[in-house]
Amino acid sequence: MLSYALLVHAAPYSEQGALSALRFAQAAVAQGHRVSSVFFYRDGVHNASTLMAPPQDEVHLAEGWRALAQEYGTELLVCIAAGLRRGLMNAEEGLRHGREAHNLEPPFVLTGLGQLVDAMQANDRVITFAP
Amino acid sequence: MQDDEAALAADIPIAPLDLLVILRHPPHGSSWLREGVDVALVAAAFGQSVGLLFQGDGVFALVEGQCAGPLGQKGTHAQLAMLEMYDIERLWVSANALRARGLMPADLMLPVQLLEAEALERLIHAQPRTLLF
């Protein structure tokens, strides 16, 4: 049994990387490994959007990530700097920046790069999924 | 002179660091390099030992005399100037990447160690944690 941290740079749907990351996570937990955290960075932050609404016959990436968090306790960490730059914010940040809406909700959590550094130290493997 | 430096680098044993960040993108035109350096700076601020390896077009980040230009992007020269303050002193550059772009060590804004292909391979193999940007 290994513990994994995933680092997702890839935007949802634009490239293969995000779906590959989700599939890897699902396969790993199905085989009894632990995926303790997924860190979303660069365009990968868009995986966390609450407003994601893909056609019904396509994989719903955000829901896939949420299910992983609910069933296996995987932490879904979103880089706050990369997220804010790209228009992704939770209710608290929305308020702070004077916005009337927000598009990030739990189990996704806005956090700093320090959490990525922690995840790299705390897990057996770190795997990057780029575009 | 370039060959001598590279030969010297090949003789230096490379100890494992907490984190190796590999930078392969140019400093302008995308945010790859900038967001990669951000990770290195944060890791160093958290007390980790961090090394940077500039490969491919990533070597352009080290070229002296850059500024924020017409692209409306800040570039990374200001971040790189802070590396020493964060105790990030292990800076490696692919000698091949530098040569392929017609650059010399004297063109670079920071002192770096050139690595020939074989030494570069040993460096990467020696590092347990690597992030690629």
ipTM attached to this prediction: 0.92
Alpha-carbon distance of A84 to A70, in angstroms, equals 25
Task: For A37-52, write each residue's pLDDT tens digit.
Answer: 999 999 999 999 999 9
Mean pLDDT throughout B19-43?
96
Contact B20, B128 (CB under 8 A): no
Residue of chain B minimizing CA distance to A127: B131
The verdict on a CB contact (< 8 Å) between A120 and B32 is: no
Question: Residue A54 is encoded by which pair of tokens?
Answer: 């893909």
Instruction: Give the predicted TM-score (pTM) of the model.
Output: 0.93
Task: For A74-118, write each residue's pLDDT tens digit.
Answer: 999 999 999 999 999 999 999 999 999 999 999 999 999 999 999
**Which of B13 and B101 is assigned the larger pLDDT?**
B101
Residue of chain A minimizing CA distance to B45: A114
Per-residue pLDDT band for B1 (boundaries 50, 70, 90) equals very low
The verdict on a CB contact (< 8 Å) between B48 and A41 is: no
Task: For A54-66, write each residue's pLDDT tens digit.
Answer: 999 999 999 999 9
Q: How many C-beta atoms surround the C-beta of residue B14 within 10 A?
A: 20
